[in-house]
Structure 1
Amino acid sequence: MTEARGRLPEGPALLEVRHGIRRWLAAHDPVDGVAVALSGGADSLALTAAAVAEIGEVHALVVDHRLQAGSGDVAQRAADRARTLGCASARVLAVDVTGRGGVEAAARSARYAALDGARESRPVLLGHTLDDQAETVLLGLARGSGPRSIAGMRDWDEPWARPLLGVRRDTTERACGELGLQPWHDPHNADPAFTRVRLRIEALPLLEQILGGGVAQALARTAAQLREDGEVLDASAAELRRAATVHSETGGDELDTDVLGAAHPAIRRRAMREWLQFSGVVGLTDVQLRAADELVGRWRGQGGVALGGGRDGARLVLTRRHGRLSVGFVTSEPAGR
């Protein structure tokens, strides 16, 4: 393999990757060292090389999902390559991929948990590119869960950093070529059994052809605009939640429906979403949130709303009583008053 570090300043593609890291560093607090999630693919490999040049102390974390024969060897080669590139350390993290939601979701959960456990308080750089952002927006559109679901990924969602959201995937491929590095190509990334892969190899190219190009960039711009709008709405929702919060006699927090009812529904629902998640609700859907909002905006004495997060045969239910909303575990849904 060509010695990479001496060639880092030369290639235009790698310089674009380095500029992505510089922009991220300029927009956020200074960091003394980072961890980087390295798979051995082009995106994370180019990111690792550029991070070593721009930041200095880089610790590579390689997750072995153990879903394919020989995955341990692939992970070890990636760790060895990280040391060659100048990383201060490189660790292989073997995980078990189990749980609901299919292989993609289970692998993602296992990967993020392993990275979080090994990062040692450092931010973790992820190799998500502009193309990944476009795919994420399309997946969000398919879910139909509103602006939040199509706002895409943030460049900083502590502890996760994504400095390459403005860089195209083919740029990272070319950057590896400039360094003389041969990236690993995960066969899962070409398997049409996965929805994201079909978006990548079928839907996005077709949209580019029909609309005359620039689709990925347009989707990424849309996501950025929605995130900016969302930050303003979230701030208003947080203020509303604070104003509506009432401490109950049992020690929990309840919401005053009169205060909520005076707010715009879009702000109110955001405030309720944040409060419900803080109260232990998991997997909140848009249907559930709108049913919860009707306890305020269209109150007609209806019963409570069953939510995700039950245990031991009891359901987690949102109820309205005496002008207040509360969340609790019940064995049968009580009538509202």
Structure 2
Amino acid sequence: MSLHPAVAAVRRGVRRCLADLEPGSTVVVACSGGADSLALLAATVFEARTGSLRVVGATVDHGLQPGSAAHADRVVAQMAALGADETLTARVQVEGGGLGPEAAARRARYAVLEQVAEHTGAVAVLLGHTRDDQAETVLLGLTRGSGGRSLAGMRRSFDHYRRPLLDVARADTVTACQVEGIDYWDDPHNHDPGFTRVRVRETVLPLLERELGPGVAEALARTAEQVRDDVDLLDDLAEADWERLRTDEGSLPADRLALLPAPVRRRVLRLAALAAGSPASELFHDHVLALDALVTDWHGQKWIDLPGHLRCRAQRGTAGVHREVLAQE
């Protein structure tokens, strides 16, 4: 019997992702119980046999919906039935901390996955984001004016995290589950129009497909892939310049900074602000442009206030980001 194309697509993505791992390595698969993550787990278990890998299935109960604990138990049973060598579950307390509900849940989830990876000695944690997720991310970034980084979308890998399904359509993960007889969960939050991403998924992208023709999601994901190499190169150059130019106090020589190409210089300034403690989620492009003006267009401005109660001053040839509690009105 020939392998169904949807199952083949998922397995192919996983095979490529695991190709560099040593036999006997442990891999964690983050599993929500949805079609994407269950198809990913099933494919990982299948491919792990060839590479002699150990597969750990991990699910996180965010406690945001009634019956979430029972759902987590069902996912654990499913992961075991699909052949995971070990299964783990954890319940987390989702606290906003100034973040929206999606971002807060994501932060809590990654904290658990970090602990699972450390506990199991895993060399990789696999995430079930698909090509459709990538397209949504790019489109959201474009609407927010986030620049090249938004066009680059989600990374295929970072730290020990990997995304094997970025070339796989969401429809293929659903079909793969149906073909393999896997009963997946359709999260009600995935259809709640109160979430911006849901509106993009269920309204905006279908509209673009109707008006511009099929393949919009694939084109957006392909654009992200093409832009990522350029963005990564600029980030690497900025990282090197940041390490080369910064002083022990975290200040930067404005005269040497001004000689850098603008895309690199602004990235260096952003790194300086982050290193000083400005929260990444609150540090926007306008802040970076204001920092840049201290270097390239100084006309007497005394300082720039940044998120995180920081103040950046330009003084005697340096642009230094200094920790300082801002005066309260």
TM-score, normalising length: structure 2: 0.91
The partner residue of 1:119 within 117, 120, 123 is: 117
| Pair 1:302 & 2:301 matched | yes
Say which of 323, 326, 329 aligns to 1:329.
Answer: 323
Q: Deviations over 1:74-120 (max 9, x none)?
A: 11111111111111111111011121332212211111112212222
1:102 alignment counterpart: 100
1:149-160 alignment to 2 at 5 Å? 149-160=150-161
Deviation at 1:331, TM superposition (A): 4.3
Q: CA deviation at 1:150?
A: 2.6
Q: Supply the distance in 2 between the matched residues of 1:134 and 1:219 (Cα, whole angstroms).
A: 5
* TM-fit CA distance, 1:127: 0.4
Pairing 1:1-337 to 2, within 5 Å after superposition: 10-26=3-19, 28=20, 30=22, 32-55=25-48, 56-99=53-96, 100-120=98-118, 121-122=121-122, 123-247=124-248, 252-282=249-279, 283-310=282-309, 316-331=310-325
Provide the TM-score with structure 1 as the length reference.
0.89
Q: 8 Å contact 2:56–2:87 — kept in the other structure?
A: yes
Q: Would you say how many aligned residue pairs link Structure 1 and Structure 2?
A: 316
After superposition, the Cα gap between the structure-2 partners of 1:137 and 1:30, relative to the gap in structure 1 and judged at 3 Å, is: farther
Task: Note the alpha carbon deviations across 1:288-321, whole angstroms, 9 max, x for none.
Answer: 00000001011122111111122xxxxx111111
- Tell me how far 1:142 sits from its aligned partner: 1.5
1:2-49 C-alpha deviation (Å, 9 max, x unpaired) = xxxxx9x833211110100122234x5547111111111100000000
Call closer, same or farther: CA 1:267–1:187 in 2, change over 3 Å: same
Once the two structures are overlaid, the 10-residue window that deviates more, 29-38 or 124-133, is: 29-38
Can you list the C-alpha shifts for 1:193-245, whole angstroms capped at 9, x where unaligned?
11111111111011011111110111011111221111121222223223322
Corresponding letter in the other structure for 2:101: V
Q: Percent identity?
A: 46
Cα separation, 1, equivalents of 2:156 and 2:32: 19
Q: Distance in 1 between matches of 2:17 and 2:325?
A: 49
SS at match of 1:269: helix
Equivalent position amino acid for 2:110 in 1: Y
> Match for 1:298: what amino acid?
D
Superposition deviation, residue 73 in structure 1: 1.0
Q: In 2, Cα distance between the equivalents of 1:89 and 1:23?
A: 23
Instruction: Note the residue ranges of structure 2 that are not aligned, 5 or more in a row.
Output: none
Shift of the 179–331 alpha-carbon distance from structure 1 to 2, 3 Å rule, reads closer
Change (3 A) 1:81 1:332: closer
